[in-house]
């Protein structure tokens, strides 16, 4: 069991709401009655990124470049709570929070009002698994667990979402193993803390084959690797639809054999306003309620597409007809009489689907990110290191990784050790490391092909290590020693410790970085050679040796 270097309060706040638990494909309250989510998305929209190249890389989806934490302002929560009560919700979905801020007031207000929170733990743009270049890495693991640590003390946390629409096309279903690895490691982390909070994923809608196969993939296997609760963002019901005309009959049938909880993680017509919300009646009645456990209407706050239910001017809230209609539907609709926990079907599992034309995802998952191994390599096996000031910029790190890997390839080297392939199930030994450490590997490997001082400059973004390996063989030995610290199989349980990190911050997804991690091992080198000839002798084979040692794992 490895330790995360983050403080964690092991005592809950006194809370009014009981914990909702999962048994198989249903949610239950402590009395054994089935629980249905009657919720609304509660996230002010941040600034949307205007970089068309970034949006194209994200599958055409614009990503926010900033976000507003809705749970950090007691004043705003006090303003909104009466309206959430009017809607009749028992849950809200929050997409982005700043874990360093205080959320006690808002969480207590919602708790007292009987409102659970389903919280996404990723952050927009650079704090989530990147669908265009996926990885499950130490910086993301630290970011997710830091947010979880900040919110586990609140008993009205319904679930933590580890991703939202990461996979949005068949062509990027190769990101699915990374999402599932995140679910695996976060579930293990929570179990280590004695927590049974649910772990979920929210999926984009699509045609039946894509939609169903991805849902099966994320919910297959035993409880240690499957998500607990699977959400579908669906906007097909418009106006006075029926279950058939809205395609909800097909969706319900396709999800009927899933062994995990399912719900509509976003719903509401976006094609033919005004929204009538007549789907609420169907959502809380058989046959849909036999499969789905409610849903989250989108969205309380206004969006750039004009789908908000209120407009806000300071402390003044003006409700729309959308709000009035949803309020009427929620308050006039009661969840159906359903099975109790004692009479629920036996818990089952399903086999994982094979790779096919709609699923380019291997059942072999990436390893658990191991910060100790990555720090050890950074301290002992690399000759060229990214400067901390540059590592703090995701844009700089992402561009430099692309540039350095192209230079390395042109010189007979490879960036395979820092890459991975979710389709083949092959992952480089450094694929789990932060982008900054991946960049230092690439820079060091390139430096080994041309060991002169200018080869470790990169426009002032890198510097030679103060304690590099003395020889190429030393670098290889150091790398082997660092990798030997990993548990067999590369999967283990991370637990919280009482210590706080010194000099390490978290950030970003693939192609971005935080501050370089502090060294966790002692340097194995002595003096640095100064002559060009000496560097050639000592480091000319470093890139080759490191590439062989670090390699690619399955």
Is the model's pLDDT at 70 over the cut of 90? Answer: yes
Q: What percent of the chain has pLDDT over 90?
A: 71
Sign of the Cα pseudo-torsion (281, 287, 289, 294, in order): negative
Q: Which of 266, 279, 355, 371 is catalytic?
A: 266
Residue pLDDT, tens place only, 233-283: 999 999 999 999 999 999 999 999 999 999 999 999 988 778 999 999 999
pLDDT of residue 488: 80
pLDDT of residue 553: 61
Cα 383 to Cα 316, 379, 518, 549, distances in angstroms: 58, 9, 16, 16
198 membership: H or E segment, kind and range: strand 198-204
Cβ burial of 488 (10 Å; 0-12, 13-18, 19+) is: exposed
Task: Extract the tokens encoding 233.
Answer: 């963002």
Residue pLDDT, tens place only, 426-480: 999 999 999 999 999 999 999 988 888 899 999 999 999 998 888 888 888 999 9
Residue 491, C-beta contacts closer than 8 angstroms, at least 6 positions apart: 184, 185, 365, 367, 368
pLDDT of residue 23: 96
Are the beta carbons of 291 and 262 closer than 8 angstroms? yes
- 165 catalytic per annotation: yes
CA angle 101, 190, 503 (to 5 degrees): 45
Cα(226)–Cα(41) distance, rounded to whole angstroms?
A: 24
3-state secondary structure of 312: strand
Q: Give the ranges where 289-383 is alpha helix by DSSP (H).
A: 321-332, 371-380
Residue pLDDT, tens place only, 308-358: 999 999 999 999 999 999 999 999 999 898 899 999 988 999 999 999 999
Partners of 159 in beta bridges: 118, 198
């Amino acid at each position: 069991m490895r330790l995360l270097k983050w403080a964690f309060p092991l005592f809950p706040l006194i809370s009014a709401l009981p914990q909702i638990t999962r048994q198989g494909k249903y949610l239950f309250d402590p009395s054994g009655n089935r629980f249905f989510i009657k919720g609304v998305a509660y996230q002010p929209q941040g600034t949307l990124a205007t970089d068309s190249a970034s949006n194209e890389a994200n599958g055409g989806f614009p990503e926010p470049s900033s976000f507003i934490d809705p749970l950090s302002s007691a004043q705003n929560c006090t303003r909104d709570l009466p309206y959430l009560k009017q809607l009749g919700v028992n849950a809200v979905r929050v997409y982005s929070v700043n874990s360093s801020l205080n959320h006690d007031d808002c969480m207590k207000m919602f708790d007292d009002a009987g409102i659970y929170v389903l919280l996404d733990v990723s952050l927009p743009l650079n704090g989530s698994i990147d669908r265009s270049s996926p990885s499950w890495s130490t910086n993301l693991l630290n970011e997710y667990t830091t947010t979880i640590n900040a919110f586990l003390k609140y008993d009205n946390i319904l679930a933590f979402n580890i991703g939202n629409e990461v996979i949005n096309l068949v062509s990027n279903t190769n990101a699915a193993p990374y999402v599932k690895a995140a679910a695996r490691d976060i579930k293990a982390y929570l179990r280590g803390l004695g927590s049974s909070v649910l772990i979920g994923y929210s999926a984009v809608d699509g045609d039946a084959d894509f939609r169903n196969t991805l849902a099966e993939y994320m919910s297959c296997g035993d409880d240690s690797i499957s998500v607990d609760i699977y959400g579908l963002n669906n906007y097909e019901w418009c106006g006075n639809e029926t279950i058939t005309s809205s395609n909800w009959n097909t969706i319900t049938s396709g999800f009927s054999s899933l062994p995990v909880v399912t719900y509509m993680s976003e719903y509401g017509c976006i094609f033919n306003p005004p929204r009538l919300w007549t789907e609420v009646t169907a959502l809380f009645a058989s046959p849909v309620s036999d499969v789905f456990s409610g849903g989250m209407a989108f969205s309380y706050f206004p969006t750039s597409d004009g789908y908000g239910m209120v407009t806000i001017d300071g402390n003044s809230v003006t409700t729309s007809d959308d709000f009035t209609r949803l309020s009427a539907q929620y308050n006039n609709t009661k969840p159906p009489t359903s099975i109790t926990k004692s009479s629920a079907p036996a818990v089952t599992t399903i086999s994982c689907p094979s790779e096919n034309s709609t699923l380019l995802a291997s059942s072999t998952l990436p390893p658990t990110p191991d910060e100790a191994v990555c720090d050890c390599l950074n301290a002992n096996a690399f000759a060229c290191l990214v400067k901390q000031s540059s590592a703090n910029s995701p844009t700089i790190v992402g561009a430099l990784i692309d540039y350095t890997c192209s230079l390395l390839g042109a010189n007979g080297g490879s960036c395979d050790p820092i890459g991975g392939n979710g389709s083949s199930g092959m992952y480089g030994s450094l694929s789990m490391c932060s982008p900054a450490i991946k960049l230092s590997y690439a820079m060091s490997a390139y430096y080994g092909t041309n060991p002169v001082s200018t080869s470790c400059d990169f426009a002032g973004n890198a510097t030679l290590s103060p304690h590099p390996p003395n020889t190429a063989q030393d670098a290889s030995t150091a790398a082997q020693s660092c990798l030997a610290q990993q548990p067999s199989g590369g999967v283990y349980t991370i637990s919280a410790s009482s210590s706080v990190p010194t000099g390490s911050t978290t950030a970003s997804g693939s192609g971005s970085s935080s501050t370089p991690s502090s060294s966790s091992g002692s340097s194995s080198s002595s003096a640095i050679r100064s002559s060009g000839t000496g560097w050639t002798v000592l480091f000319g084979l470093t890139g080759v040796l490191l590439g062989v040692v670090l390699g690619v794992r399955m």
